Structure 1
């Protein structure tokens, strides 16, 4: 049996949550990064004894499209999947259901699921600092519960998760990072972009049609040259303030 974490985590919050959960499942966890656009994800093949923690951020209540296509290319062969949707304290809506159906079609057995809160990747004042120490301890406890459940029920059926079909429509957000005059053209943002929206030959440019507003380019820029439109960001923050005000708890779903 091998344990894997399979994560789409442009800004690190999703991976932080997934790592703490998977550490409780067993030692020697292997990592697969879903944010590398040039990777041939069909090379990844698992067996029925494997456990895969598959963690994605919730973008508008959906799984990022790039993550869906990359997961769909894998050969699961009945491996157990622990689903994780990570969201910025607003809502995760259909994310877990879409993730479950994507993985089921790829041949995974979806044995458990978790909804976890992490700092909002765009408006970082929402769920600031999460997952915090209490969150991490909760996720570790979830991991122990999942491990116990899998040991008792090694052939357990697919877990039930919240969500509805057709899935919530999501067409992205208008907040797209752009490079300012301080851009030094180093290309780190182009290399790190999960969807190839920044050309290596002109890293000051952003293809707004391709960009998924994941904010990784802002995080990796060594001179803080990439930013969002301040007025648009303030307006979006104001609209989200009420729905993000209530403290959301992490959730565990077992058979």
Structure 2
């Protein structure tokens, strides 16, 4: 019996929204159940969904610096698909998804998943409230539903060939430049905590790297991947970044990539 399985990493919920929309429509068309597997938090990255040959997997990740987040690569290498069919989905913040979708397709291929469709959707940028504000929005979700209907037809056919935009020799991770054109390394930039913090622990529980300890949410005990979860989920806007290079890069993104980009679909 067929099942639809979602498999996603979504610190701010944008990837989750699209993946679930696709999965729900496919499940309705196929008259089968849906199993959700969210590996956003560290404790979920110790196991994998039990995927069987007849399953349909909708796998999604956000795009960080034009690629699949490098902190996920080791975990994703342990996925086993057992010949099930899959749809690859990436969410990017209206700049570019570069080679991330192709990279995700290759990861799923290596996991013995038969990728029959792929899509790059736009989500509100993790750095910003203004860049791709509120996306994926209803227009995006309408596109997702239409794509899911088309996917359902392909899943009933024998054709599984798929061509995806991207360079097989993936680009290096995108690096911002300063005003003089020199590379700027923002990887070590850490979120700060304002005095408005209520110590509600939401940021600690939302951090996908487990880097914010509940006993002291004002410090960082591990890496920060700039996913925006602690900032966007804080009810009193107590978390922020104040690094000048980070803020300049954020402004540049907001100014340069205002034009609405549309989802790109591959079937």
Superposition TM-score, scaled by structure 1 size: 0.89
After superposition, residues 1-255 of structure 1 pair within 5 angstroms as 1-27=2-28, 28-39=33-44, 41-153=46-158, 156-157=160-161, 159-170=162-173, 173-174=186-187, 175-207=189-221, 210-229=223-242, 231-232=244-245, 234-254=247-267
- The answer to whether the 8 Å contact 1:42/1:73 transfers is no
SS in 1 for 2:43: coil
Q: Which moved more, 1:220-229 or 1:84-93?
A: 220-229
The offset of 1:195, in angstroms, is 0.9
Q: Report the more deviating stretch, 34-43 or 106-115.
A: 34-43
Deviating above 3 A after TM superposition, structure 1's stretches of 4 or more consecutive aligned residues are 40-43, 171-176, 230-234
- How far apart, in 2, do the equivalents of 1:43 and 1:230 lie? 37
Unpaired runs of at least 5, structure 1: none
Paired residues of 1:47 and 1:76 also in contact (CA < 8 A): yes
**Deviates most, 66-75 or 188-197:** 66-75
Structure 2, unpaired ranges of 5+: 176-184
- Residue pair 1:49, 1:80 contacting (<8 A) in 2 also: yes
SS in 2 for 1:24: helix
Displacement, 1:149? 0.8
Deviation at 1:43, TM superposition (A): 4.1
Displacement of 1:230 after TM fit? 7.1
The Cα of 1:240 is off from its aligned counterpart by: 1.7
CA RMSD of aligned residues (A): 2.1
CA separation of 1:123/1:81 partners in 2, compared to 1, >3 Å: closer, same or farther?
same
How far apart, CA to CA, are the structure 1 residues paired with 2:205 and 2:138? 32
Distance 1:40 1:237, change over 3 A: closer
Q: CA deviation at 1:198?
A: 1.4
How far apart are residue 199 of structure 1 and its match?
2.3
1:41–1:73 Cα contact (<8 Å) kept: no
SS of equivalent to 2:27? coil
Task: Please list the CA deviations of residues 88-132 of structure 1 after superposition, one character each: whole Å capped at 9, or x if unmatched.
Answer: 111000111111111111111111101111111212211112222
Equivalenced residues, count: 251
2:108 touches 2:115 (CA, 8 Å); kept in 1?
yes
